[in-house]
Structure 1
Amino acid sequence: MTLTLPAIGDITEARLDRLRDTLAESSYDAIVCCGFENIQYATGYRSAPGANRRSQRMAAIVTPAVVLLVGGTAEAAPAVAGGIAPDRYIPYGAFHFDSVTEHHPALQCAPQQASLGAGVEYAARLLQSVPLSVVGVDEDDCADEVRNALVSALPGATFANASGWLQGVRSIKLPGEIDRLRHAAGLAEDGITAAIAAAAPGVTENELSAIVGRTMAAGGAMPRSITLTTGERSALADEFPTNTVIREGYLLRFDVSCDYEGYRSDIGRTAVIGEPTALQSDRYNAIWRGEEREIEICRPGLRTADLFAAAIEAVEESGLRPCRRNHCGHGIGMQIYEGFRVAPSDKHVLEPGNVLCVETPYYVLGWGGMMVEDTLVVTPTGAETLTVSTRELRTVS
């Protein structure tokens, strides 16, 4: 898959501009980001420990004029190499770099602090000359030591939970973000297509999973989740591939996700080995019709709860009843489930720039499972699919 994407620096600047423009219209004087995705959105720095282990805590403080990032000393060099100005990075904790020169930029960061809390307090005190009356805090991912440090360093400020506000900012995707989501979706599709081409009786789930992963990695993505199950195992909603051997007549269900420059895909497809039975075709056509209904009616102003109801109605009208689902899709972006769900109790109203996955999986224990899932971006007049591969039930000769 070939796609020309805006440079990382360009999308970093565009995201920060959007964050600051929205901040200027809010009641907040500053925002403290604690979740790794919010930190990447605000600073452009994508933490490898954060993406892989989510154990090394960080915090970013954003004002209309300044962005400060507090993180582990071990991440000082990657952060500076990724474009963070050395004097805007406050390191904490013990770690030691050797260097060919004492003037290496990564050694010019702010003074090393003992802990995350100490680093946040140091950063906040740098802003004491800036009037900060109300500070929004990413409470969903905020550690107690960060809260305590902010209160200590900014005694005149009040603090409010801004996690929902940050999700709202991120939910309207910029063009460069949509490009990356499109690319991630395309790589997942390419992986599924390559695996279906290699599928045959006698091949194992693990062998096909390796093809999916290699294809996505060759396109520059990091494989994140490959649910590839066959036969009765295809009814196991979220499951790792095994050495189960594919046989004639088996369903082959794919639910695949990768990460491209911090943006996720989540794509579902179903194939059958040989000619499908009437039952397989009928059930698949019913769930496919439900997903098609979602694509047809998706538009600004539509409640996600109504999108869910329409999907269920279409599946049941097509003969598959009762259709019992907790959700028929979800927002997607830097997180695979981001912001809202297409669910009966969800209160989100779709806006241009929202990106979501729509899906209508069906699982029957002892028989099998099937799904079709695609990614859409809401446009001013409707929705555009970011996926391009066929959504039909595929057959493997």
Structure 2
Amino acid sequence: MTSPSNPRADRLRAMLAGEGLAAVVLSHPHDVRYATGYHSVLERWGQMEPVAAAIVYADPAKPLTLVIPEANLGIVAVLNRQEERCTFGEVRTFEMLNFCEVSRYIDPDRKGGQLAQDAMALSGAIAGECQSDIVAAIASALVDHGMAGKAIGFDEPRVSEKLRSRLKHEYSDALDFMIRVRVVKTGEELARYRKVGRIADAIIAHAGSLLHEGADWSDVQARICDFMVRHEVIPVDEGAMLFGGAYEQDDFIPDLFRTQGNRALRRGDIVILETQGIHDGFWVDINRTAVIGEPSAEYRRQHDILRDAFLMMVEQLRPGVSTASLPQIGYEHLKSKGVATPEKLLVVAHGIGLMPLEIPLPYPSAGLAGVKEGFVLEEDMLISLDSLYFGAKLGPCHMENVYAITNDGPESMYQAPLELIVAQAADRAMAQPAGAV
């Protein structure tokens, strides 16, 4: 049985030959979702042990295999209710605790609905018997498709080790390989991220509207979280934003990785709004800078210089350009304009998608290599350009956008202006009509 059309799996399959691999076994939730579209709430539990897997074979005649608990056929039906979001050529099933066992018993007092019918319609895709656990189900598929003794990539070495006695395969670590696969997006993924961009614009606009002198920082974050959830975005955590917060009772530190807030915003406070969350599996990562009350002319000038440096770097986001060249462009512009300590400019260009940082370099990529070595941009990469000046006497400025890399120049996924957000001071807020923020 051949697999339905799936551009992501096609890209993965095409790249297997270059790695000398006959197949890749994926059990990390991001990789399973990439290859098949399958995901469930179980992955959010953060279990160390995988609860689903996918097998992609280099041979296009072999089916894309989805490995899930038998009882989760209903989840596949839900994912595909309106459109085919979860694709596969065959399904291999396994027991999850005794949940699947219990679900097989027919309740005489419950009539089967449409979901039950849709789940049963998928039964024809099931190959083999339901196995005792996920490793047994993977082993059954690999043996049936002639993978014994073959070179196989794994994104989880424990799965490989459990299969060794039965499969006698040649192990290959597929973690770095999967990042290289995922960092270049398919047309379908780019279309989905354009929708993410529209939501990100709405989030940052809402975040800016909540700021005013006297606003409680913790309340601002909670209200941003609420807005995100109502727009089908899962916040990065209970605070929704990466930067800003209180350390001591009287402090508000805008460029500190977020701590809890415990004081009201004051005139002159700088607020870095980096709202992070997940919509449709893709990360929202947009960043703008706000100030409470009218900023000084010096600070506005500093922000505008940083914006201009940012746009100069954006212009270089084209295929064939190394991300390692970007920080120097920003540094030289700040230096030429007399900005104090331009060395305090942090510039990071990174892929984004199922993870907020997708850097196609060998592990560990999140060290200095991610910036100093960088990586060469390719067409259809999604790149987040993050520019943070940690300030001096005037304070920090920060902005971040996501761009699709094209031969005609970068396509911005976000349309929110890069300008400084000026929030209301108390006297202006009091002059607003009742109910306005």
TM-score range, shorter chain: 0.7 to 0.9
Q: CA deviation at 1:107?
A: 9.8
Q: CA deviation at 1:20?
A: 2.4
Contact 2:381 2:405 in 1 (8 A): yes
Of 299, 311, 315 in structure 1, the residue corresponding to residue 334 of structure 2 is 315
Distance, in Å, in 1 between the alignment partners of 2:213 and 2:185 is 42
1:105 maps to 2:102: no
Contact 1:264 1:336 in 2 (8 A): yes
Aligned to 1:67: 64
Judged with a 3 Å threshold, the aligned counterparts in structure 2 of structure 1 residues 112 and 196 are, in CA distance, closer, same or farther, namely same
Judged with a 3 Å threshold, the aligned counterparts in structure 2 of structure 1 residues 106 and 392 are, in CA distance, closer, same or farther, namely same
Q: CA deviation at 1:307?
A: 1.7
Judged with a 3 Å threshold, the aligned counterparts in structure 2 of structure 1 residues 306 and 228 are, in CA distance, closer, same or farther, namely closer
Listed as ranges, the matches of 1:24-39 within 5 Å are 24=17, 26-39=19-32
Contact 2:243 2:254 in 1 (8 A): no
Listed as ranges, the matches of 1:27-176 within 5 Å are 27-57=20-50, 58-63=52-57, 64=60, 65-72=62-69, 75-79=72-76, 81-82=78-79, 83=86, 88-94=91-97, 95=99, 96-97=102-103, 105=120, 108=123, 111-128=129-146, 133-138=150-155, 142-144=156-158, 146-155=159-168, 157-176=169-188
Distance, in Å, in 2 between the alignment partners of 1:35 and 1:258 is 19
Judged with a 3 Å threshold, the aligned counterparts in structure 2 of structure 1 residues 316 and 179 are, in CA distance, closer, same or farther, namely farther
Distance, in Å, in 2 between the alignment partners of 1:285 and 1:216 is 29
Aligned to 2:304: 285
Residue 14 of structure 2: SS of its match in structure 1? helix
List per-residue Cα deviations over 1:291-344 (Å, max 9, x = no partner).
222112211111111122222322333324232356423210111011247954
Listed as ranges, the matches of 1:192-341 within 5 Å are 192-224=204-236, 225-227=240-242, 229=244, 233-240=252-259, 242-318=261-337, 319-324=339-344, 327-340=347-360
Q: What TM-score, normalized by structure 1, do the two folds share?
A: 0.84
Percent identical across equivalent pairs?
23
Contact 1:30 1:61 in 2 (8 A): yes
Contact 2:211 2:423 in 1 (8 A): yes
Q: CA deviation at 1:170?
A: 1.1
The aligned length equals 382
The one-letter amino acid paired with 1:149 is K
Residue 121 of structure 1: SS of its match in structure 2? helix
Contact 2:94 2:137 in 1 (8 A): yes
Q: CA deviation at 1:88?
A: 0.9
Q: What TM-score, normalized by structure 2, do the two folds share?
A: 0.77
Q: CA deviation at 1:49?
A: 2.4
Distance, in Å, in 1 between the alignment partners of 2:392 and 2:261 is 18
Contact 1:80 1:105 in 2 (8 A): no
Aligned to 2:10: 17
Distance, in Å, in 2 between the alignment partners of 1:239 and 1:22 is 39
Q: Say which one has the larger Rg.
A: 2
Q: CA deviation at 1:60?
A: 1.6
Q: CA deviation at 1:346?
A: 2.6
Q: CA deviation at 1:131?
A: 7.8
Aligned to 2:432: none
Contact 1:235 1:363 in 2 (8 A): no
Q: CA deviation at 1:147?
A: 1.0
Distance, in Å, in 2 between the alignment partners of 1:88 and 1:72 is 10
Distance, in Å, in 2 between the alignment partners of 1:193 and 1:279 is 25
Question: CA RMSD for the aligned pairs?
Answer: 3.1
Contact 1:230 1:246 in 2 (8 A): no
Residue 132 of structure 2: SS of its match in structure 1? coil
Judged with a 3 Å threshold, the aligned counterparts in structure 2 of structure 1 residues 365 and 230 are, in CA distance, closer, same or farther, namely farther
1:177 maps to 2:189: yes
Q: CA deviation at 1:213?
A: 2.5
Judged with a 3 Å threshold, the aligned counterparts in structure 2 of structure 1 residues 168 and 86 are, in CA distance, closer, same or farther, namely closer
In structure 2, stretches of 5+ residues that fail to align are 80-85, 361-365, 425-437
Q: CA deviation at 1:28?
A: 1.7
Distance, in Å, in 1 between the alignment partners of 2:399 and 2:321 is 22
Contact 1:185 1:266 in 2 (8 A): no
Residue 169 of structure 1: SS of its match in structure 2? helix
Residue 294 of structure 2: SS of its match in structure 1? coil
Residue 404 of structure 2: SS of its match in structure 1? strand
Judged with a 3 Å threshold, the aligned counterparts in structure 2 of structure 1 residues 314 and 186 are, in CA distance, closer, same or farther, namely farther
In structure 1, stretches of 5+ residues that fail to align are 1-8
The one-letter amino acid paired with 2:241 is I
